[in-house]
Each structure stands twice: as structure tokens, then as C-alpha cells.
């Protein structure tokens, strides 16, 4: 496979962009190669600047649930752009999308749009602190909630991919107000909340961890979390940037039947455009300015292009049997990956929830950050390079999620399974 133009582009990019990329994992350092530069995408296929094409399982890190350049979403964006790209003022589109989101997500009574998942989680934590009058937040080891200072302690995603223990530039005064505890450990959870409950403003959690790879919650973990936070007056925040509108139309909270106090949503509600949102109970949301004292603002919040894309996107998600068909494809693919690993005789533990999955190169169960760290990252790197050479585009990190979209055909999934069998066989022979 010729990637000479990508290689030249990367060298040029490194001269003007730190690391040559605008988000660290994209540099592909953990998988032992340079990145390919993407030129365009359509459906389930992405094309690089050298003309190579790949079946895409990254899906822009999740939001392309309908595939790339979905015609109805593209048309909505194009028509909206004809009227202007930004107003910094109220529009009917943001009102329409807000109504759709509130109707879809069970715990939401009011919602506010922002520009990214990071902005959503940062704003939700500030709101929880303002609402409770407390300072401390509790998060879980390996869960990533964006790059705001409070979240970079024992974070997932690119932080663990690059082996960075937190981040320089985060003041100790902020670190002291963040407690990170093991995911899925109910004993430590209860001990922490009961001992420090009167200082804790909120607990923020990915209801399905997606930034140390896909790690499902234990059978009673989310209910325990809900019961304890309710008892102790702690705001429970679900970070559904990955799971929202992905596991079901109502997100993970509908899927599991657990209602948080606040919910954070991300780029999926804008069809892949820069957008995020946070919402929840009216009594909490009414603390946001101008109704209340907790300040948050943004010129591009509720951007008309993102709102138009979001409306079109959510309408498509309402089609009968959309999630049933998506999850059936995911089940078919996961079964194929498991059989490929079994046939090759290599240790792979596959975690899947709906159309999210991660194959960890380890024989042990992966239930938390510690067990995820047992995965063989070098083995994953070899697998990544081998699959890329055969036209399969995976996430350039062991600790990310593979996404199935509605655009993936069974034939494409079969091709990817066949290439996986080939790659696993090569790994077993080495």
C-alpha cells in the first residue's frame, strides 16, 4: 500500500502543528506507524490522500452512526448554510433540536447546547458545584471526560494511550478536589461517598466506559451509584458523549433503566459537527445564567449548521427497527471476531455493548482500568498495521472503541472478519 503523500503531509504538518495532529491519538505513536491523511469519506468508507480506501470502524470516534456524508444530513447542512453559518443569537432550529433531545432522553427536562463533549462535562460539573455548594468531584479510573483540568487525573483515551500520568499544567488546587476511584468497584464507591459525602458535589461516570476500551458496568454498579448519590444529596452525572443516541434513542440511561440528575451529550447529536449538550432536572438547570448564578456561555453554542444536522440525524434514528438492525450487525461482527481469535489460538477478550466493542489482547476479563492495562499493546499495534494494509481502518489505540454504523454492509463486515482471521493468524505465527 502506497502512503507516500500521507508521509509527506505528516512531515509538513509537524512543522506547524504540535506532533503534526490536532488530537494526540491521531499521531498513531502507540501503534508504531505514522497516520494516513483522510481526504474524504462516504458511507462506511474513508479515502486517504494517496487514493487508498478503507472500511471505517472509527466513525469519527462514534458520531457517524449513519455513515459518512449521509445525504439527508448533508442536505440539511447545505440548506442551513445558505441562510448563514453563525448568528450568535436564538434560532428556531436550536429550539426544535432541544425539544427532540428532551423528548428522547428520559432524565432530561431542560438542555443547553455547547460546542463539544469536553465543554458539556466541564459545564455540568460547574453546575453541580453551584447547585450543591460543594467542591469535590468523584470520577472513575480510566474514564475520560474531556481535557478540562478536573478530568485529567487517571483519565482514559489519549492520556493512557500515550502513557501520560495526568497532565502537567493542572494545578494542585484543582487536583485536591478530584477523587478518582476504580470503575465497577462498589465497595470502594460506597466507602468513598459515605466518608466524604458532605464535600462531594457530583459523581461523573461513563455508564459504559468507552475510553479505556469498551468496559460494561457490572450488573448492579449503576443502580448502586444511583442509590448512594440520591441518599447523600450528590448530583449524578452520566457522560453519554459516546453512549447517547448510540445504545438506544434514549441512550445508556434508557438501555439500563437508570436515571441520572445531569446528562452530557456530544457530537452524535450534531451528525458529526462540533456540538455538545448538557441537561437534566429543571431545578438544577434553572441555576444556569440568565435564570440563575452559574455562568456558561458561547458564541457558537446552538450553531445553526450543527442544529440542522442534529435534527436530520435524530429523525433518521427514529426509523423503525434502526437500533435492532444496528445491534444485529454488531452481534454478527463480534461473533466473527471471537471465532477468528479462537481459530488462531490467540488471547483476545471481546467486550461489547450494543454497537460498541473492543477486542483486548488479553485472556483475562476486562472489567476496569487495571484489567484493561493488562492488554498487550504491542500486539494490538501489529494487528492495527496489518489491518490497515488490508484496507481496514481501526482506532490507533488498544484503549478505544470500535463502532458499527448503519452504513456497514454484511459483505463489508465479512471482509473485515476475513482480514481479522488473516491478521490473527500472522500474530500467532510470530
CA atoms within 13 A on the CB side of 9: 15
Query: Could you state, in order of their start, the residue ranges of all structural domains in the chain?
Result: 4-69+321-429, 71-317
**How confident is the model at residue 115, as a pLDDT?**
95
**How confident is the model at residue 148, as a pLDDT?**
76
**How confident is the model at residue 173, as a pLDDT?**
75
Q: Which CATH number does the domain 4-69+321-429 belong to among 3.40.50.1100, 3.30.70.870, 3.90.580.10, 3.90.1150.10?
A: 3.90.1150.10
Report the C-alpha gap between 340 and 42 in whole angstroms. 28
Among 159, 273, 138, which residue's Cα sits nearest to residue 211? 159
Cell of 151: 478530568
Residues whose CB falls within 8 Å of the CB of residue 179, separated by 6 or more in sequence, listed in order: 136, 137, 138, 139, 192, 196, 200
pTM across the whole model: 0.94
Reading the chain (430 residues) residue by residue, the pLDDT tens digits are 899 999 999 999 999 999 999 999 999 999 999 999 999 999 999 999 999 999 999 999 999 999 999 999 999 999 999 999 999 999 999 999 999 999 999 999 999 999 999 999 999 999 999 999 999 999 999 998 988 777 776 554 545 444 444 566 777 777 788 999 999 999 999 999 999 999 999 999 999 999 999 999 999 999 999 999 999 999 999 999 999 999 999 999 999 999 999 999 999 998 889 999 999 999 999 999 999 999 999 999 999 999 999 999 999 999 999 999 999 999 999 999 999 999 999 999 999 999 999 999 999 999 999 999 999 999 999 999 999 999 999 999 999 999 999 999 999 999 999 999 999 999 999 8
Cβ burial 229-259 (10 Å sphere, 16+ → b, else e): beeeebbbbbbbbbbbbbbbbbbbbbbbebb
Hey, CA dihedral for 66, 241, 117, 101, is it positive or negative?
positive
**Phi, psi of 31, rounded to the nearest 5 degrees:** -110, 10
| Catalytic residue ranges | 144, 239, 267
3-state secondary structure of 159: helix
3-state secondary structure of 280: strand
Report the C-alpha gap between 370 and 181 in whole angstroms. 11
**How confident is the model at residue 101, as a pLDDT?**
98
CATH domain 71-317 topology? 3.40.640
Report the C-alpha gap between 275 and 119 in whole angstroms. 9
Residue with cell 485536591: 176
Report the C-alpha gap between 154 and 203 in whole angstroms. 15
- The DSSP string of 281-326 is -HHHHTTBTTTSSB----TTTT-HHHHHHHHHHHHHHTSTTHHHHH
Residue 157 backbone zone (phi > 0: left; psi -120 to 50: alpha; other: beta): left
Helix axes 322-344, 410-429, angle to 10 degrees: 20
The string of pLDDT tens digits covering residues 389-408 is: 999 999 999 999 999 999 99
**How confident is the model at residue 155, as a pLDDT?**
55
Amino acid at each position: 500500500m502506497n502512503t507516500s503523500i500521507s508521509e509527506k503531509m505528516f512531515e509538513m504538518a509537524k512543522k506547524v502543528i504540535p506532533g503534526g495532529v490536532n488530537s494526540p491519538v491521531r499521531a498513531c505513536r502507540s501503534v508504531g506507524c505514522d497516520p494516513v491523511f483522510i481526504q474524504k469519506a462516504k458511507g462506511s468508507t474513508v479515502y486517504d490522500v494517496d487514493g487508498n480506501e478503507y472500511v471505517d470502524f472509527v466513525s469519527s470516534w462514534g458520531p457517524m452512526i449513519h455513515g459518512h456524508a449521509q445525504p439527508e444530513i448533508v442536505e440539511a447542512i447545505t440548506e442551513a448554510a445558505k441562510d448563514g453559518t453563525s448568528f450568535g443569537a436564538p434560532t428556531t432550529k436550536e429550539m426544535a433540536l432541544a425539544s427532540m433531545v428532551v423528548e428522547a432522553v428520559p432524565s432530561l427536562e431542560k438542555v443547553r447546547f455547547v460546542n463539544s463533549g469536553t465543554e458539556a462535562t466541564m459545564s455540568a460539573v460547574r453546575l453541580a458545584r453551584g447547585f450543591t455548594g460543594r467542591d469535590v468531584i468523584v470520577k472513575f479510573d480510566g474514564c475520560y471526560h474531556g481535557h478540562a483540568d478536573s478530568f485529567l487525573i487517571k483519565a482514559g483515551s489519549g492520556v493512557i494511550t500515550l502513557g501520560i500520568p495526568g497532565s502537567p499544567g493542572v494545578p494542585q488546587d484543582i487536583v485536591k478536589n478530584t477523587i478518582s476511584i476504580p470503575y465497577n468497584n462498589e465497595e470502594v464507591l460506597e466507602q468513598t461517598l459515605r466518608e466524604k459525602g458532605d464535600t462531594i458535589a457530583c459523581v461523573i461516570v461513563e455508564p459504559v466506559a468507552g475510553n479505556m476500551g469498551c468496559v460494561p458496568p457490572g450488573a448492579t454498579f449503576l443502580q448502586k451509584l444511583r442509590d448512594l448519590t440520591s441518599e447523600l444529596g450528590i448530583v449524578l452525572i452520566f457522560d453519554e458523549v459516546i453512549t447517547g443516541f448510540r445504545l438506544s434513542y434514549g441512550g445508556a440511561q434508557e438501555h439500563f433503566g437508570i436515571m441520572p440528575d445531569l446528562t452530557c451529550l456530544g457530537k452524535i447529536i450534531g451528525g458529526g459537527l462540533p456540538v455538545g449538550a448538557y441537561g437534566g432536572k429543571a431545578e438544577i438547570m434553572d441555576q444556569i445564567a440568565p435564570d440563575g448564578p452559574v455562568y456558561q456561555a458561547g458564541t457558537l453554542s446552538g450553531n445553526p449548521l450543527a442544529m440542522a444536522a442534529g435534527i436530520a440525524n435524530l429523525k433518521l434514528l427514529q426509523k423503525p427497527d434502526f437500533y435492532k438492525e444496528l445491534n444485529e450487525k454488531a452481534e454478527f461482527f463480534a461473533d466473527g471476531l471471537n471465532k477468528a481469535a479462537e481459530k488462531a489460538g490467540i488471547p483476545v477478550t471481546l467486550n461489547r455493548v450494543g454497537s460498541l466493542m473492543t477486542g483486548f489482547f488479553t485472556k483475562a476479563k476486562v472489567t476496569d482500568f487495571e484489567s484493561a492495562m493488562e492488554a498487550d499493546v504491542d500486539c494490538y499495534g501489529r494487528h492495527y498495521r496489518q489491518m490497515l494494509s488490508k484496507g481496514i481502518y481501526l482506532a490507533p489505540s488498544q484503549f478505544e472503541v470500535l463502532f458499527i454504523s448503519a452504513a456497514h454492509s454484511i459483505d463489508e463486515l465479512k471482509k473485515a472478519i476475513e482480514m481479522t482471521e488473516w491478521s490473527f493468524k500472522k500474530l500467532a505465527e510470530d
